[in-house]
Amino acid sequence: MTPFVVDLGFGEESILQGLTEANIVGRGGSGRVYRVTFTNRLNGAAGAVAVKQIRTAGKLDGKLEREFESEAGILSNVWHINIVRLLCCLSNTEAKLLVYDYMDNGSLDKWLHGDALAAGGHPIVARARSARRAPLDWPTRLKVVVDAAQGLCYMHHICVPPIVHRDVKTSNILLDSVFRAKVADFGLARMLAQAGAP
Q: Is 182 marked within a binding site?
A: no
Backbone region of residue 179 per phi and psi (left: phi > 0; alpha: psi in -120 to 50; beta: other values) = left
Position 166 confidence tier, pLDDT thresholds 50, 70, 90: confident
Statement: residue 4 has pLDDT above 50: no
Alpha-carbon gap, residue 171 to 106, rounded angstroms: 9
Q: Could you give the CA distance from residue 187 to residue 165 in angstroms, rounded to a whole number?
A: 8
| Residues in Cβ contact with 153 at an 8 Å cutoff, skipping those fewer than 6 apart | none
**Does 7 or 49 have the greater pLDDT score?**
49
Residues in the chain: 198
Q: What is the mean pLDDT of residues 46-70?
A: 75
Residue 38 — very low, low, confident or very high, per pLDDT cuts 50/70/90? confident
What is the pTM assigned to this prediction?
0.77
The yes or no reply on domain 12-191 and CATH 3.90.1640.10 is: no
Is the pLDDT confidence value at 149 over 90?
A: yes
Q: What average pLDDT does the structure give for the chain?
A: 79
* pLDDT, position 120: 45
Question: Could you list the active site residues?
Answer: 167
